[in-house]
Amino acid sequence: MSELKQAKSALISVFSKDGLEPIVKRLDELGVTIYSTGGTEKFIKDLGINVIPVEDITSYPSILGGRVKTLHPKVFGGILNRQENESDVKELEQYEIPQIDIVIVDLYPFEKTVASGASEQDIIEKIDIGGISLIRAAAKNFKDVTCVSSVDDYEEFLNLLNEKNGETSLADRKKFATKAFNISSHYDSAIFNYFNQEREVNSFKQSELQGKELRYGENPHQKGTFYGDFEAMFDKLHGKELSYNNLLDVDAAVNLMNEFKGEAPTFAILKHNNACGLAQRNTIHQAYVDALAGDPVSAFGGILISNVEIDAKTAEEIHKLFCEVVIAPSFSAEALEILKGKKNRILLVLKDIELPKDQVRTCLNGVLVQDKDLKTDAPADLKLATHNKATDEELSDMIFASKICKHTKSNTIVLAKNKQLCASGTGQTSRVDALKQSIEKAHSFNFDLNGAVMASDAFFPFPDCVEIAGNAGITAVIQPGGSIKDQLSIDYCNENNIAMVMTGTRHFKH
């Protein structure tokens, strides 16, 4: 038989009617017999187009409050029959089952209902049974049936109808079948994840419907794709397409700045997922100037992020720097015009949405899943370990430094003073090396470390770090504690007038 098929009948049962009218009208023009039920049937009738109720096929009404409408052999037989199979064709004739060539379905919005905070009863009622069954049946039998499984595919299907006058090729039908199984598997994954919120079933399922192919991956010889709804988080106002590395840096920037949400104007500059500059001031302009001073060399080609609107004065300073991406909750009109002066500079408005609470990464031949590190050290968490008490300014700086430390690659040491990042040692194999790197870097940019504070992502196994820090002028230290040799570090601090607090929380980041 020819792989080209002319549609003669269609079953339509959809939740969303947006964009359905031109499809229905085109099918009617092509002489396609239309079957439908419930609200979709009424919608088609109101268009003045002839539609046959599914009940006329099944001789059975919609029952159980609409829970059972299309689940019937006369419906599924019309979809699943193999038209080249003589036995199937004879059974259709024997049981008076109409052939169905097109199935158009749009499922109940289960995920939107969950996101709305609806009751469990309302959520359960939005688990589509008939629709998902129709999709699977039509997609399975793609050799004979075209399956349109989402409102997002209405336009593409309408174009196909117009281009080929109701005729489809095997490739057309298989493409729509692939889309259909994408929809059905995603839908079932969402339902499973809703039921498995307590992780009683030790199984991992993550599904993203949208994918965007990137120019390349981490390096030019690697392919890269982003799967997710980027537009749900950002409005992209200007610039080139984001790269794989841009996206990783943007992710790091957003998670870091989330620590300072609702606080005084704060500006951060990141490079390779780590902050190279960060400051909190009374104005965002001064916060940017002082963040840049933290490492004006690494800032070149960096990712910039603000926790408040970027104004024209700040934009003028930013415009002097070559940077890949600038992120803010908003930009003034003047600032936007200034920053658009570089055609490739990416400008993103960060929407006020909740960030994911899980982290997922590939590992060996599987995946690792963990709760995101949502613990932010607060004054109430601090346990004074030394006789020397930190001043209010030192306490404030230690909390500030701890937030940065939490988002810096381990092993790390962060040095801060007056709500400004002086330097950090990042991704070192020893804590001593991280500390030495941070001190050397701070001195290279002319920071006076006398009175500065030190934050560590993990405990000190030996007193060498506090000794090196003390010699550099550090007067207060924040660390998790927990080493069997904690007392050695405490003793050194007591003997050298250094205040030390312990949080009890480690913040490794690998």
> Which residue is catalytic, options 25, 140, 143, 205?
140
- Percentages (nearest 5) of helix, strand, coil residues in the chain: 40, 20, 40
Dihedral, 340, 243, 351, 117 alpha carbons, nearest 10: 160
Q: 411 to each of 114, 178, 309, 321, 507, how far by Cα in Å? A: 39, 45, 33, 29, 10
Given a contact cutoff of 8 angstroms between Cβ atoms, the answer to whether 305 and 254 are in contact is: yes
Buried b (16+ CB within 10 A) or exposed e, 209-235: beeeebeeeeeeeeebeeeeeeeebbe
- With tokens 């480690």, the residue in question is 506
Strands 499-502 and 383-384: antiparallel
The Cα–Cα gap between 467 and 160 comes to: 73
Smallest Cα–Cα separation from 147: which of 156, 138, 155?
A: 138
Smallest Cα–Cα separation from 8: which of 25, 28, 37?
A: 28
Given a contact cutoff of 8 angstroms between Cβ atoms, the answer to whether 468 and 432 are in contact is: yes
State the DSSP string of 360-412. EEEETTEEEEEE-------GGG-EE-SSSPPPHHHHHHHHHHHHHHHTSPSS-
The sign of the torsion formed by the CA atoms of 20, 26, 29, 35 equals negative
> Which residue is catalytic, options 17, 25, 238, 272?
272
Is 140 labeled as catalytic in the residue annotation?
yes
Query: Across-strand partners of 326?
Result: 304, 347
The Cα–Cα gap between 246 and 93 comes to: 60
Is 443 labeled as catalytic in the residue annotation?
no
Given a contact cutoff of 8 angstroms between Cβ atoms, the answer to whether 275 and 414 are in contact is: no
Given a contact cutoff of 8 angstroms between Cβ atoms, the answer to whether 77 and 95 are in contact is: yes
* Both tokens assigned to 184: 């059905």
Q: Give the helix ranges, DSSP H, for 151-309.
A: 154-164, 170-195, 230-233, 244-257, 284-293
Question: What's the chain's length in residues?
Answer: 510
CB burial class (10 A; 0-12, 13-18, 19+) of residue 392?
exposed
What lies within 8 Å, CB to CB, of 221 at 6+ separation is none
User: Is the preceding peptide bond at 258 cis, omega within 30 degrees of 0?
Assistant: no
* Residue 119 CA from chain centroid, whole number: 25
Residue 388 backbone phi and psi in degrees, to 5 = -80, 130
SS3 479: strand
Cite the active site residues. 140, 272
